[in-house]
Amino acid sequence: MNLRPLLLSLTVLLLVTGTARAAGPKEVAVADRSLWPTPIRSPKDFDQASRAENLVFAKVLGELEARSGTEAFPAELGVKQVHTESLRRWLGEVKGTVAANLRAARASCGAKTEVGCAGAEPSAENVVQLGTEFFALAGPQYQDWKAMADRFYGLYVKELMRLAALFPAPTSEILTLGPGEFTGSEWPDRQFLLTFDDGPTPAGGGTDKLMALLTARKASGVFFVLGDALKNRLDKTGPDALKVLYQGQCVGSHGQEHKSHQKLATWKDSLENSRGLVGSLGIEGNNKKVLFRPPYGQRTEELTKFLQGQGASVVLWNIDSQDWNASVAPGPTTDRVISLMLLWRRGVVLFHDVHNKVHQAVPRLLDFADTAGLQWKNCKTL
């Protein structure tokens, strides 16, 4: 990988606009699952589609990596400068992950002629070549899906590479700072967790609607609440009503308000105040060691070590639904999450209970997991 033209940018990482947390990629990756030629109704069907997703991702990853040494590369990602060491680290990790995913998905191969089953044993060193070969040889029934997937991963890889190029200024979910943080990418195969940020909504709003759905489906998730929003609702309804509302679920902290905790001078106050509010609910399974999700995924090593010393964790994610993004419709939002579940095969799914798209996405994801043989983690086991 030739990154030498970018060595001048080993230090400060800035967006073109200079406001790292406010700006995002110009275009977000959206998928269309209707173009996959066969229904996913079993674990074997899941593996087949997973092989295809990983192989196209690997092919696109290699194409963008090949351009990483050019002068135009930072502008292509929408950044001013690139942190080369973070990018190298991410590339190494993600290639290893894709290789492991392919090996797991090939376990159900009955014959080399099945989609994604041919070729050498997947490794970090050969996944790009395997992806390139698959894309060239996949049969005509995959042509429409391939065109869509090529575009989807073209944008999605840029989303991820952009975060890696910026890390650690600002930090994000793309890489961990050390022990005490998890993204879900380290979990066993086929295990996922639902998470919901930014609530609670006022009584009768999106949070209540989502709770009713999860209760009816016997599903659980972690609700990362903002201290200010929680206090407003506590003042109006009291802790007993909220304890009933969150019954069977887990509640974590998203800070006192939605501000980056990477440069927030009062981050300890934010953690303590929001943790105290969550603790006041008296929810079974919650205690003073509340799980914390930093707004925007931005935090410091000091913050992570502080929580680790208390037995708590920073909970990041590896599957971003983009449900907050007004440019993404509900259907493509759900299709994006399903495609990323097929790609990563495990992980933490990020939603927001304050946005309406979650109410269409979650039922479909629960149905998908049932038919594909996936497991939702019980939040209380965390």
Query: Are 347 and 183 contacting, i.e. CB atoms less than 8 angstroms apart?
Result: yes
CA neighbor of 55 nearest in space, from 139, 143, 140, 146: 146
* CA 158 – CA 323 distance, rounded (Å): 19
* CA 307 – CA 291 distance, rounded (Å): 9
Q: What does the pLDDT average to over 196-201?
A: 98
Please give the angle made by the CA atoms of 99, 101 and 106, to the nearest 5 degrees: 95
For residue 370, CA distances in Å to 217, 333, 336, 363, 381 come to 11, 19, 18, 11, 20
For the chain, the average pLDDT equals 92
Amino acid at 240: D
At residue 4, the pLDDT reads: 40
In this model, does residue 140 exceed pLDDT 90? yes
Helix (H) or strand (E) holding 208: helix 206-216
At residue 11, the pLDDT reads: 31
Share of the chain above pLDDT 70, in %: 92
At residue 8, the pLDDT reads: 31
Longest dimension (CA), the chain: 62
Residues contacting 167, CB < 8 A, separation 6+? 13, 83, 86, 90, 174, 175
Structure tokens belonging to residue 249? 């679920």
* CA 373 – CA 41 distance, rounded (Å): 9
Give the tens place of pLDDT for each residue, 271-307.
999 999 999 998 865 655 789 999 999 999 999 999 9
Q: Between residues 47 and 112, which one has the greater pLDDT?
A: 47
Give the tens place of pLDDT for each residue, 21-73.
435 677 899 999 999 999 999 999 999 999 999 999 999 999 999 999 899 99
In this model, does residue 335 exceed pLDDT 80? yes
Does residue 337 sit in helix, strand or coil? helix
pTM of the model: 0.93
In this model, does residue 328 exceed pLDDT 80? yes
For the chain, state the CA radius of gyration. 21
Q: Sort strands 319-320 and 314-315 into parallel, antiparallel or unpaired.
A: unpaired
At residue 19, the pLDDT reads: 35
In this model, does residue 2 exceed pLDDT 70? no
